[in-house]
Amino acid sequence: MKISNNPLLFAVWMLSMVSGALSCDRCLYKSKVASFARANINGACGYGNSATSLTARGGLVMASASAKIYREGVGCGACYQMRCTDPGVCTKSGVKVLVTDFTKSTQTDFVLSAPSFTKLAVASKAAQFLKMGTVDVDYKRIPCDYGSQNMTVKVDKSSKYPDYLAVQFLYQGGQTDITAVDINRAGSSGWQYMTRKNGAIWGIQNPPIGSLSFRLLVTGGYDGSWVWPTRNLLPAIWRPGSVYDSGVQITEIAQEGCSTCETGNWTDTRTR
Ligand SMILES: *[C@@H]1O[C@H](CO)[C@@H](O)[C@H](O)[C@H]1NC(C)=O
Ligand SMILES: *[C@@H]1O[C@H](CO)[C@@H](O)[C@H](O)[C@H]1NC(C)=O
């Protein structure tokens, strides 16, 4: 299945199918998850206080991700579902997580705060479970679902009007990665590219003057498409810290090459 040709998308199929690998909506992975006492709110992705709104809206908990998942910031904002594997202890649906931080751990793919880690277990086993510290899990990427909430663009506080503009995209739905961001003065045809600075933050020196529009390249696995908000996203005088509605949401699910696709059991337990 290709990414759907949503009318709000200017669809450009960037990447072609690779033959051989099994192609699935979601691959199932086996790994370990560790708990960590620190809450990872101000994580490497740079969401800051916004992270709390994202997880609340999406029914998610924050997670620190290993290099393989974090991918130098490309993985920021991705959602995963995981559950531990001991049937006597673990809940069926586990937890859904949002990548907000990076962990140097090479032993586990994710690190969760202690309260989030505990949610993997049934309540009566929670205290004993927490003492284990690290557990085996199955996990898979899932679409981030923020309901009726549109994706928004936040002007990062590192911005300095009018010389330097940094933004991050909040409430990034779907199951794709934002891999390029272009910006232009509304109505002009010349696009300039922004550069990923750190985590989910994209920046540009000397941005165009005037109200600004954006286009985003979202990719995943074999597929890619441009998300092209139909409205101008930033006013001529944009302010660090301000958040603007994009008027669009990403709902695409990209195909991956998997060795194991998700099982039907996951589908059954996806909604709590
Ligand atoms: C999302 O964007 C659409 C299209 O611009 C708009 O009509 C709608 O009100 C927005 N939704 C929310 C919840 O702000
Ligand atoms: C799916 O769930 C059923 C019943 O809980 C179980 O018997 C079966 O082994 C599970 N299948 C997989 C692939 O996990």
Average pLDDT by consecutive 10-residue portion of the chain (272 residues)?
Answer: 37 38 84 78 86 96 95 97 91 94 92 94 94 94 96 96 97 96 92 96 97 93 83 92 94 86 57 35
Q: Which of 93, 265, 268, 269 to mutate to test the pocket of ligand 2 (most atoms within 8 A of CB)?
A: 265
Same domain, 137 and 157: no
Q: What is the Cα–Cα distance from 269 to 272, expressed in whole angstroms?
A: 6
Q: What is the pLDDT of residue 39?
A: 54
- Per the listing, tokens 């390249």 go with 217
Ligand 1 in reach of 57 Cβ (< 6 A) = no
Q: Which of 141, 202, 140, 213 is nearest to 176 (CA)?
A: 141
Cα of 270 from ligand 2 centre, angstroms = 14
Q: Kindly identify the ligand whose nearest atom is closest to the C-alpha of 87.
A: 2
- Closest atom of ligand 1 relative to the 245 alpha carbon: 14
Which domain-ending residue is among 142, 169, 202?
Answer: 142
Binding site membership of 263 for ligand 2 (Cβ less than 6 Å) = yes
Give pLDDT, residue 174.
95
Q: Is residue 253 part of a domain?
A: no
When computed from its CA atoms, the radius of gyration of the chain, rounded to whole angstroms, is 19
Burial (CB count within 10 angstroms: exposed 0-12, middle 13-18, buried 19+), residue 207: buried
- Let me know if residue 215 belongs to a domain: yes
Residue 15 within any structural domain of the chain: no
Residue nearest to atom 8 of ligand 1 (CA): 247
Q: Identify any residues that bridge with 92 across adjacent strands, giving them in sequence order.
A: none
For residue 208, the enclosing domain spans 152-245
User: What's the rounded Cα separation, in Å, for the pair 229 and 215?
Assistant: 7
Asked if residues 227 and 249 have their Cβ atoms less than 8 Å apart, the reply is: no
Residue 269 C-alpha to ligand 2 middle, in angstroms? 12
pLDDT value, residue 22: 78
Strand 223-227 vs strand 79-84: parallel, antiparallel, or unpaired? unpaired
The answer to the question of residue 254 being in a domain is no
> What was the pLDDT predicted at 263?
64
Distance CA 253, CA 4 (A): 8
Answer yes or no: is the C-beta of 242 below 6 A from any ligand 2 atom: no
Please check whether residues 220 and 138 belong to one and the same domain.
Answer: no
The structural domain count of the chain equals 2
Asked if 266 and 81 count as a contact pair (C-beta separation under 8 A), the reply is: yes
